[in-house]
Structure 1
Amino acid sequence: MNEDGVEIPGTVVFDGRQARSGLPLNNLAMALNKAAEREQFVADPEAFMARFRLSEEQKEAVRQRDFLRMIELGGNIYFIYKIGMVDGLKVPDIVARMAGQTTEEFVEMMRNGGRSPHG
């Protein structure tokens, strides 16, 4: 829903409520800026997630690398991207997953002008 209370189909608006609910997830992602934190995350992701007090839903989204679900659970795309980077993913890889496509399909779609407004 946008600031005027209008629903935007297929869109999660990152507002104050989303920011509050996603704080643990976003704090975890921001910690991954440091190499030592990335090493800890890779070595024991469950302990790392517990340290940041992620909800069970957030933990499952991180386990599955379900970036769209992370956003629905309050993740900020600029922060949760860092989780994908730990796996060597790049922006097109993450966005393709969110769109339900392979990276190759997503890149080809974008080369052809992106999605049409009707589909």
Structure 2
Amino acid sequence: MTKARDDYLLDLTASRRGYALNRLCGSLRDPENRRRFTEDEAAYCDAYGLSPEQKRAILGRDWTGMLELGGSIFYTYKLAMLDKKSMQYLGGVFTGMSVEEFTEAMRSGGRNFG
């Protein structure tokens, strides 16, 4: 798994690099696509043309890895929702905190992650 940090930049280069990954995650808004993904995640990744690294990140739920490979939090969150993960869970993963620690940090002003 990739090390947590809180400074991911989704610029044009990263956006281009993550196009297939973001397209796959965005497709999960549709119930039929969620069903197909759940039935065979690897085949679904192949159908979207993910790089081997992106496919490993999706299958391994390497959330920070997805961002480093050009994923947008707005799209990767669609996958997290399928796994019943909250935005607070992802925030904790991205900052190296527990859900509770991240939630408390947000309640006390945010961006004070250490």
Query: How does the TM-score come out when normalised to structure 2?
Result: 0.85
**How far apart, in 2, do the equivalents of 1:10 and 1:86 lie?**
23
Q: What stretches of structure 1 move > 6 A for 4+ residues in a row?
A: none
RMSD across aligned positions (CA): 1.8
Q: Which blocks of at least 5 consecutive residues in structure 1 are unaligned?
A: 1-8
Q: Does 1:41 align with 2:37?
A: yes
Query: How does the TM-score come out when normalised to structure 1?
Result: 0.82
Q: Conserved in 2, the CA contact under 8 Å of 1:61 and 1:70? A: yes
**How far apart, in 1, do the equivalents of 2:58 and 2:91 lie?**
15
Larger radius of gyration: 1
Aligned partner letter, 2:55: K
**How far apart, in 2, do the equivalents of 1:91 and 1:98 lie?**
10
Number of aligned residue pairs: 110
Q: 2:81 aligns with which of 79, 85, 88?
A: 85
Q: Conserved in 2, the CA contact under 8 Å of 1:66 and 1:98? A: no
Q: Does 1:50 align with 2:43?
A: no
Deviation, 1:114, is 2.9
Percent sequence identity over aligned pairs: 36
Which structure carries more relative contact order (alpha carbon 8 Å, separation 6+)? 2
Q: What does 1:3-82 align with in structure 2 at a 5 Å threshold?
A: 11-82=7-78
